[in-house]
Amino acid sequence: MKSKHIIRNTVKDHLLSHIKSGQLTIDKTINLAKLARTLKVSVTPIREALSQLEQSRIVKAVPNRGFVIPELSLTEAKDLYNTMAQLVVLAMEDSQFTQQTVQQLKQELLLLQQAHTHISRMQSRIRFHQFLMRDCSNRILHSLIQDLEAKIFFYEQLYITDASFYEQVDNQNESIIRAIEENNVPTAALILKMNWLNVSEHIKNKLIRNQKISYQTIVP
């Protein structure tokens, strides 16, 4: 019989995968009964998993509605990307890279460059960064980064709709790999941090423009 911990993590992973695949969208209410039937578990571990995701601000408990995917905001975007930028530096500094890892990173970068839609580019970029973190031994860092990636999905899905934007960060990814090959992980970590902050700046500018448009629409 599976432990409560394993069941809760299974539910959490299921929800995160549905978020990243676009099956759970903003302001959508999560149907606990339906989810329990799908996963063949009780509602209790589902509530526990959702409570964990609420702490990561991926879902939100709303009175008379239950758990929903919350709206996006400029303040959250700033905090989200800044936090991710800091965490990936810690993860890289805790990693030991082998030659095999470097070759696999090059393959992942090639797949990233071959992706043509903004969704496939986004997914490939996240996968590339996940691979960078693979050799990090700190499991807590892995868990925190995974949660943030799920939230980041919503921002990039809505505000980076031009696949060519990601081409601007490809040179940084190549520089990251080159620094790792030269056994210069601090430099690789710094470039990776700038990579996330560049995307952050793009997202923030889009959010600010959208807010101005909304205000102009409301005010005569």
The mean pLDDT value for 163-174 works out to: 79
Instruction: Check whether residue 90 and residue 186 sit in a common domain.
Output: yes
CATH number of domain containing 176: 1.20.120.530
Residues 80 and 43 both lie in one domain: no
Name the residue type at position 94.
D
Residue 121 — pLDDT band, cuts 50, 70, 90? confident
In terms of residue numbers, what domain contains 199?
A: 74-216
CATH code: domain of residue 47: 1.10.10.10
Residue 109 and residue 197 in one domain: yes
Same domain, residue pair 46 and 118 = no
Q: Is there a single domain that holds both residue 15 and residue 101?
A: no
Say which residue, 122 or 190, is predicted with more confidence: 190
- Across the range 175-204, mean pLDDT stands at 92
Q: 96 and 196 share a domain?
A: yes
How would DSSP label each residue in 62-119?
ETTTEEEPPPP-HHHHHHHHHHHHHHHHHHHHTB---HHHHHHHHHHHHHHHH--SHH
For the ranges 8-12, 28-32, 173-177, the maximum mean pLDDT occurs at 173-177
pLDDT at 72: 84
Per-residue confidence (pLDDT) for residue 220, from 0 to 100: 42
Please tell me the total count of domains within the chain: 2
Higher pLDDT, residue 1 or 35: 35
Domain match, 93 and 200 both: yes
Check residue 201 and give its pLDDT: 92
Regarding whether 116 and 94 lie in a shared domain, the answer is: yes
63 shares its domain with 133: no
End-to-end CA, the chain = 63
**Same domain for 136 and 201?**
yes
- The pLDDT of residue 218 is 38
Residue at a domain's end among 12, 37, 68:
68
| pTM of the complete model | 0.76
Query: Which of the residue ranges 34-38, 95-99, 123-127, 181-185 would you say has the lowest mean pLDDT?
Result: 123-127
